[in-house]
């Protein structure tokens, strides 16, 4: 009996040591980002996940600004937010592809505390069939648009941080397609992967200004954007995308906001997302030593599962092509 207990202890010991080590080394250190009474700006905030985020932030007592292209949709969104929360959101009509327009818009609403770069367009198609204009459209809106937003907001955010002494946040809406590239998503995955490179480097640059970067990775979410995307999706993409469940915009918004408030670098939105985040943790920063522990312990199994997924996907592609040939 004693030997069994001894065995058990010796099994546990290295795990405890790893846990303690992680508690010491995880960087950046955890931080809480308050929302109440602070200025939250959401791009792509007139519909879908952005709108849900804006409404939630308003409900939590934040001062909210939403940025989008269409003034009518902006007005409808502001009306809805006022109706649901009593809060008057500021509406900014601008196209994120235009850096001057973005800068002007941000100037009118004053310094931002929580910048949510949520705008995104997605048109899935095989690269061979897709027009370069569409590829460029996604790169301009999803990637360059985010650069424009951050460039415009950063100076005032830094200034604000010094004055208030409170932590600020730059949150970037990515996608599970920003964790793994699959059939039909060459352009979209390129833009979303790009946002991660931007975020990892940006966190190094802004940490000393008490600004905290957050990446959110939702799965397919029930939004007008998704409805548009589904019209164009290649069959194989549908087969592969079925590997992960869909979510409602409001649930994604809740996960996103919680992640922003706890200054998490990587914010998954559902179970598959959590598994994906462990598999693709790479060299990303991790503030929570418990999550770090999960990542270290789960990494091997997740890589194995990832290889199983690729086995599944390549087989599906093979089968689909064989079926097509026979027709």
Q: Name the residues annotated as catalytic.
A: 174, 188, 192
Q: For residues 68-107, which are near another protein according to CB under 8 A?
A: 99
**Least gap, CB of 264 to another protein (angstroms):** 14
Q: Where are the alpha helices (DSSP H) in the chain?
A: 2-25, 48-59, 71-85, 99-109, 132-138, 145-164, 186-206, 224-232, 235-241, 249-261, 271-279, 289-326
Distance of CA 219 to the CA centre of its chain: 10
Show the binding pattern over residues 258-287: x = contacts another protein (CB under 8 A), - = does not: ------------------x--xxxxxxxx-
Taking the complex as a whole, how short is the minimal distance between the CB of residue 39 and another protein, in angstroms? 19
Q: Tell me the per-residue interface mask from 287 to 326 with another protein, x by CB under 8 A, - otherwise.
A: -----x--xxxxxxxxxx-xxxxxx-xxx-xx--x-----
Q: Is 53 in the site for another protein (CB under 8 A)?
A: no
Among 20, 23, 25, 227, binds another protein (CB under 8 A): 25
Choices 35-43, 46-54, 71-79, 121-129; region in contact with another protein by CB under 8 A: 121-129
Question: Running DSSP on this structure, what letter comes out for residue 270?
Answer: S
Residues 200-239, mask of contacts with another protein (x by CB under 8 A)? xxx-xx-xx---------------------------x---
Angle, vertex CA 152, rays to CA 148 and CA 154, nearest 5: 115
Q: What's the CA angle centered on 69, arms 71 and 154, to 5 degrees?
A: 115
Q: Which stretch binds another protein (CB under 8 A): 21-29, 33-41, 87-95, 251-259?
A: 21-29
Residues 51, 45 contacting (CB under 8 angstroms): yes
Distance CA 172, CA 198 (A): 10
- For position 23 contacting another protein by CB under 8 A, the verdict is no
Which of the residues 140 through 199 are near another protein (CB under 8 A)?
143-144, 147-148, 150-151, 154-155, 158, 177-199
CA–CA separation, 277 and 271 (whole Å): 10
Going by C-alpha positions, the residue among 100, 101, 103, 96 that lies closest to residue 121 is 96
């Amino acid at each position: 009996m004693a030997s069994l207990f001894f065995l058990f202890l010796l099994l546990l010991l290295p795990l405890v040591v790893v846990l303690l080590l992680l508690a010491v080394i995880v960087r950046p250190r955890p931080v809480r980002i308050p929302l109440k009474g602070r200025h939250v700006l959401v791009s792509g905030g007139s519909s879908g996940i952005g709108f849900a985020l804006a409404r939630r932030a308003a409900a939590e007592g934040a001062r909210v600004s939403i940025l989008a292209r269409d003034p009518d949709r902006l007005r409808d969104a502001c009306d809805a937010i006022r109706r649901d929360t009593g809060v008057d959101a500021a509406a900014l009509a601008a196209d994120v592809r235009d850096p001057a327009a973005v800068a002007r818009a941000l100037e009118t609403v004053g310094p931002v505390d929580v910048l949510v770069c949520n705008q995104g367009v997605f048109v899935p198609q095989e690269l061979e069939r897709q027009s370069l204009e569409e590829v460029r459209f996604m790169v301009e809106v999803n990637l360059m648009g985010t650069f424009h937003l951050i460039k415009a907001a950063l100076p005032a955010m830094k200034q604000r941080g010094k004055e208030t002494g409170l932590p600020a946040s730059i949150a970037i809406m990515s996608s599970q397609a920003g964790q793994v590239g699959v059939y039909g998503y060459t352009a979209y995955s390129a833009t979303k992967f790009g946002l991660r490179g931007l975020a990892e480097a940006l966190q190094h640059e802004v940490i000393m200004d008490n600004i905290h970067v957050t990446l959110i990775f939702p799965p397919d979410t029930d939004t007008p954007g998704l409805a548009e995307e589904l019209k164009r999706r290649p069959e194989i993409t549908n087969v592969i995308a079925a590997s992960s469940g869909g979510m409602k915009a409001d649930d994604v918004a809740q996960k996103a906001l919680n992640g922003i408030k706890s200054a998490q670098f990587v914010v998954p939105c559902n179970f598959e997302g959590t598994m994906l985040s462990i598999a693709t943790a790479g060299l990303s920063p991790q503030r929570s030593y418990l999550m770090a522990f999960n990542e270290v312990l789960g990494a091997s199994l997740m890589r194995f599962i990832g290889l199983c997924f690729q086995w599944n996907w390549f087989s599906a592609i093979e089968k689909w092509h064989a079926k097509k040939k026979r027709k």
